[in-house]
A and B are shown apart, each in its own frame.
Chain A
Amino acid sequence: MNRKPQKDISIFDRVEELLNEEESFALVTVVKGPPVGEKMIVFPDEKSGVGFEGSLGNSDLDRVVSRDARGELTAGRSGVRNYGESGEAREETVQVFVESFIQPPQLLIVGAVDFTAALVKIGKVLGYRITVCDAREIFATTQRFPLADEVIVEWPNKLIEKIGQTFGPRDAVCILTHDAKFDVPAIVSALATDVGYIGVMGSRKTHEDRINRLYEVGVDDEGMTRLRSPIGLDIGSRTPEETAISIVAEMIALRTGRSSIALSETKGPIHD
């Protein structure tokens, strides 16, 4: 079903608006074939009756392309697809480019410490939507973390229980408190979500101690293997900024499944 017509604003206006609102959508452009340049905007959720805006000039083509574009959008992929003039499969008269714009991944940082400020900075560069959470009101302030999207005073495990159902494989939780009182419950809550990355800061000794506490509260081996603890790649980081870089590098490597070894030491393609 077509959304209400937006005659008064251009497609580019609409794209800008949706980008600013951080909505998920796909911009579909005909790049080859008779309706070259025609565009439509496709939304992830058809159930609410708001499938797409605009038209590629043929209602059958619109129907098929919007369905496929929604699939690409859900997978977070951008790329080209071929159709016949009325959306026929296995024809190549019309080529469309589906450009997916998806909500930024989330990064929840537990603990309002110096490392947090650095990680907020680096995480912003990578486009994360960042929430900082600490139970201590005097530390968890927007003045200390001006770049964070949200600073929340709350027991971290309670916050994770509240917002954890929105976490997915692209998202990350970094627990930087190194205080068993906060981090053990926070880890347990994070393990109950589908979050892709759970990093926990602490020395080797803290890590050993924490593992014992986690076993005590019933975390199993499968849960343990999800934890990146001690946090970060071994690049010899010392300062909070260097540590933040080692953490985000680990987040990237976990997502891509790459080795984290220097490219000069390995062979094979650099980009998958």
Chain B
Amino acid sequence: MKEIVKDIRRWQKQDKKIALARVIDLDGSGPRLPGAAMAVTEEGEVAGSVSGGCVEGAVVLEALEVIKNNERHIVSFGYSDEEAFSVGLTCGGTVHLFIEPLDW
């Protein structure tokens, strides 16, 4: 969180809407621990990261939805047989993220 506060403050000064995504839980192996955080603006600007680059693209899309609908929820990414083309962690683990508008 600490490393993205500066970017968040800059965007807040520019009155941009921001979503914050945080890793809250991992099943199996995962590159970033709970607490890893990424902020996304309504324009798609990004600070921080929540994985080794495996799911960041999908998190941006989810974050934009969160900003648009002004709601917060858990999103999970993992390897899935049924959705062979869906996004996941290459290391085989599942990462659970909480994504919410930064309205607090």
- Chain A contact residues, CB within 8 Å of chain B: 10-12, 15-16, 19, 29, 31-32, 36-37, 39, 78-80, 97, 99-101, 269-271
Does the CB pair A78–B29 fall under 8 Å? Answer: no
Question: Closest CB-CB distance, A83 to chain B, in whole Å?
Answer: 15
**Residues 35 to 86 of chain B near chain A (Cβ within 8 Å):** 35, 72-74
- Chain B hits for A79, CB < 8 A: 24-25, 34
Give Cα distance in the complex from A200 to B74, angstroms. 47
Q: Which 4 A-B pairs have the closest CB atoms?
A: A78-B34, A97-B24, A31-B98, A78-B35
* A19-B1, A31-B98 known; A99+B29 contact, CB < 8 A: no
Question: Closest CB-CB distance, A232 to chain B, in whole Å?
Answer: 26
Give Cα distance in the complex from A19 to B34, angstroms. 17
Chain A contact surface mostly: mixed
Does the CB pair B34–A99 fall under 8 Å? Answer: yes
* A19-B5, A97-B98, A270-B29 known; A37+B72 contact, CB < 8 A: yes
Does the CB pair B25–A12 fall under 8 Å? Answer: no
**Residues 1 to 55 of chain B near chain A (Cβ within 8 Å):** 1-2, 5, 8-9, 22, 24-25, 29-31, 33-35
Residue of A nearest to B9 (CB): A16
- Among A16, A31, A100, A101, point to the contact of B24 (Cβ < 8 A): A31
**Interface residues in B, total, Cβ within 8 A:** 23
- Among A37, A99, A269, A271, point to the contact of B104 (Cβ < 8 A): A37
* A19-B5, A97-B98, A270-B29 known; A36+B22 contact, CB < 8 A: no
Residue of A nearest to B31 (CB): A271
Additional A-B contacts beyond A78-B33, A97-B22, A271-B29 (7; CB < 8 A):
A12-B8, A19-B5, A31-B74, A78-B34, A80-B96, A101-B1, A271-B31
- Chain B hits for A36, CB < 8 A: 72-73
Residue of B nearest to A12 (CB): B104
Does the CB pair B104–A97 fall under 8 Å? Answer: no
Question: Closest CB-CB distance, A270 to chain B, in whole Å?
Answer: 7
Question: Closest CB-CB distance, B9 to chain A, in whole Å?
Answer: 8
- Chain A hits for B2, CB < 8 A: 19, 101
- Chain A hits for B24, CB < 8 A: 31, 79-80, 97
- Asked if B102 CB lies within 8 Å of chain A CBs, one says yes
- Chain B hits for A80, CB < 8 A: 24-25, 34, 96
* A31-B98, A32-B74, A271-B29 known; A16+B22 contact, CB < 8 A: no
Give Cα distance in the complex from A79 to B22, angstroms. 11
- Among B33, B34, B72, B102, point to the contact of A12 (Cβ < 8 A): B102
Can you report 5 A-B residue pairs in the complex whose CB atoms are below 8 A from each other? A15-B1, A29-B22, A78-B34, A80-B34, A101-B1
- Chain A hits for B72, CB < 8 A: 31, 36-37
Does the CB pair B31–A97 fall under 8 Å? Answer: no
Question: Closest CB-CB distance, A5 to chain B, in whole Å?
Answer: 15
Give Cα distance in the complex from A10 to B100, angstroms. 16
